[in-house]
Structure 1
Amino acid sequence: MDRADPMILDALKGILPEQTMSLLQDHLSNPQSVLQAVWQHTATLINKLFSLVYPLVEPLLARLMQALHDSPDVVVLGFALAFFVLVLQIVAWVHRTMMYFTRLAFRLVGWALVFAVLAVVWRRGPEAAVRDVAVFVGKIAGYAAVVKDIWWSEYQKFDAQTKSGGVGGAGAGGQRVPSGGYSRSRNSGW
């Protein structure tokens, strides 16, 4: 196939078994093998196609090279755009990698929780596990009730202050003055 084939085969000697290496050497170095015939046919076809298309494309390439030589700003802009696209591709790759590992971690944590619950149920028995869940839910509900009561009392205090005009002060005519201290009068032009 190519001049690099013996180098590739030498590099693979320590990796592949001897039977595979002898099979590869037979197929790659034998000029009568199907692989060699396909390679020769493909190389000939590409060479003919190149020799056919090159005279048609050569003037276009020459004009393109001359235009690029005459306007180096386009080349700089092209390199800047290529660099920008490269940076975006790297950022997207990093994002995909991080999302993959984050999803993997959350799945592992989820399955670990499922197995931990199953282990607790297995060890303590279904009745004791249900009792433990009921106690846990009761404690969470009690904590939520305390938080709700604190929030509601603070809300009522704030509501009473805003209705009496204690927060932010009141401007002329009962208008609320913003915290900056400036108010817009009703007769202003804006």
Structure 2
Amino acid sequence: MAFEFKKCDIEGLYEIQPKIFGDNRGYFLETYSEKDFFEAGLTMKFVQDNQSKSTKNVLRGLHFQTKHPQGKLVRALEGKVYDVAVDLRLGSATFGKYYGVILDSEKQNMFYIPEGFAHGFCVLTETATFAYKCTDFYHPEDEGGLMWNDPTIGIDWESILPGITSNANLSEKDKKHAPFSLEKKYFDLNAKWIGE
């Protein structure tokens, strides 16, 4: 198998480490293999690939789609990011909890986030190029989001990137996301949207 699949503390999340074959000429690795992923129990189908480039302190998130939720396989092609997933599956033992992974282009690690989660990241290096595969298409009318610094979720961005709480570079859209509520419905355990 060309990958090591590590289950994270929140059910459904995986940190994935591909095998890297390198010599003095450079390196080679597989970034996705349906066969290996299926053997690990990850039987999703990807339909869209996305890529972005950002500068240090850019924070994107926390995003989700409602009626067309996306599972995402994310990685840093260049630089480092702190990538975060928030469990929005009502009835889950970890509802409202987050898990974060530092994605490093030198390490080539990846993070799989299934449907039913909010997702975001901040850039730790001078620049970072970020790529992700999605299990559904982007639907602009279907966007949802949560405040990146919501106190109930309590993502500790500051310990990963000191100063980010006062220097986060956010889009106008990301500045306006709603706070998280333990009383609100988001997704059911099958990642079907049950919110208002």
Structure with higher strand content: 2
TM-score (norm 2): 0.13
TM-score (norm 1): 0.13
Larger RCO: Structure 1 or Structure 2 (Cα < 8 Å, ≥ 6 residues apart)?
A: 2
Computing the radius of gyration over CA atoms, which structure comes out larger, 1 or 2?
A: 1
